[in-house]
Amino acid sequence: MTSHHDTPAWHLTGAGNMGTLAAFYLRAAGFPVALARGDGRRKTLTFEDGRAPRTLDIPAAPATPIRHLVVACKAPWSAAALEGLSLAPDVTVLRLQNGLGSLDGLLPAGADLIEVVTTSAVKGRHPEHRVVAENDTWMGRATAGPAPAWFPALAAAWPGLEWAAPIRPRQWRKLVANAVINPLTGLHDVPNGRLLDDPDLAARAARLADEADTLLRALDPAWPGDSRAQVAAVMRATAGNTSSMRADMQRGAVTEIEAINGWLLRQADALGLDLPAHRAIVAAVRARQP
Ligand SMILES: NC(=O)C1=CN([C@@H]2O[C@H](COP(=O)(O)OP(=O)(O)OC[C@H]3O[C@@H](n4cnc5c(N)ncnc54)[C@H](OP(=O)(O)O)[C@@H]3O)[C@@H](O)[C@H]2O)C=CC1
Ligand SMILES: CC(C)(CO)C(=O)C(=O)O
């Protein structure tokens, strides 16, 4: 027997690259998807593997309390994206964003927050979104436990999607990769692979990775502390890529630095730890953004 919990109606805030990809998979799983605010939009998703482009009409939302919400805006816009939305007290939220903590204090106390970590990549601007890579994606809560009833249908439609709860190890891995690669490539305007080839940048990357490990070990003694190698593997796998922060800086946009390196600094402050390389790079990025 199915219930409405098995086929939830999703609302989307942040109908950009990742939000549109998520909407595409949610629809493929048979779930209705509507925009949390604004007029309906027609999107085109293109693929690099020869699949035909897909058109996706995402309608405006009916004005009801939102029970299932995808948040896929860039981290700095989270408060603006959620402002004025009518969220059910037990709303389920899929947070599809880099960095950590961007929804802290913005959700009802009874919200079910499911974090999404993805190594997929989508580029472009409304209305055309280009799926560059469909790799692994993990969803999970902070705590261990089974997936929601609707998850198997979504996993059948979303290539490479797995349930991973607690999600923290996956999030921290991704966070460290972003905290090392993104600000260095943004400030020096280089592709990710240059951090392997340029000795000065490689040394700076190693310092950032080591400081992140010091902090994460202090937060969790079981943290493996192998970030140098893990981050180097990401640099190799994405050597030709423009990181999202480099792209943001190239177009003069606000970056996600506060949710990435800023999160590390806030945790370090609370523990009385200093992370000088992260402190310096956050200041440098802040100085360069609007
Ligand atoms: N793109 C990718 O390959 C990946 C992205 N991510 C993460 O996913 C998140 C979303 O990234 P991505 O989809 O690339 O970003 P985009 O810029 O493509 O989309 C973000 C969307 O945020 C919305 N938004 C809401 N409020 C504002 C505002 N005040 N100013 C500007 N935009 C606003 C806009 O949606 P609307 O038009 O509806 O207002 C915009 O389309 C980020 O945290 C990113 O780091 C993670 C892995 C890969
Ligand atoms: C992993 C990495 C660094 C790939 O470019 C990324 O997630 C980003 O650019 O934000």
Quote the mean pLDDT of the chain. 96
- Ligand 1 pocket residue status of 264, Cβ below 6 Å: no
Q: Is residue 108, in this structure, part of any structural domain at all? A: yes
The complex's ipTM? 0.96
pLDDT category at 49 given cuts 50, 70, 90 is: confident
- Ligand 1 pocket residue status of 80, Cβ below 6 Å: yes
Q: What is the pLDDT of residues 181-225, one digit of tens each?
A: 999 999 999 999 999 999 999 999 999 999 999 999 999 999 999
161 and 173 in a single domain? The answer is no
20 and 141 in a single domain? The answer is yes
Quote the Cα angle for 172-178-180, to 5°: 105
Name residues whose C-beta falls within 8 Å of residue 237's C-beta, 6 or more positions apart in sequence: none
In this model, does residue 240 exceed pLDDT 80? yes
Going from the Cα of 149 to the center of ligand 2, the distance in angstroms, rounded, reads 31
16 and 67 in a single domain? The answer is yes
pLDDT category at 64 given cuts 50, 70, 90 is: confident
Going from the Cα of 221 to the center of ligand 1, the distance in angstroms, rounded, reads 34
Q: List the beta strands (DSSP E) in 167-237.
A: none
The single residue listed with the structure tokens 């100085």 is: 287
> Whose alpha carbon is nearest atom 9 of ligand 1?
97
Share of the chain above pLDDT 90, in %: 95
238 and 253 in a single domain? The answer is yes
Going from the Cα of 138 to the center of ligand 2, the distance in angstroms, rounded, reads 16
- Write down the pLDDT at residue 61: 86
> Whose alpha carbon is nearest atom 27 of ligand 1?
77
- Write down the pLDDT at residue 67: 97
Active site amino acids: 174
Q: What would the mean pLDDT of 99-108 be, rounded to a whole number?
A: 98
Q: Does the N-terminal peptide bond of residue 166 adopt cis geometry, omega within 30 degrees of 0?
A: yes
The answer to whether the predicted template modeling score (pTM) of the entire model surpasses 0.80 is yes
Q: Which of 241, 256, 257 to mutate to test the pocket of ligand 2 (most atoms within 8 A of CB)?
A: 241
51 and 155 in a single domain? The answer is yes
In this model, does residue 5 exceed pLDDT 60? no
In this model, does residue 241 exceed pLDDT 90? yes
Q: Domain containing 135: what range?
A: 10-166
In this model, does residue 128 exceed pLDDT 50? yes
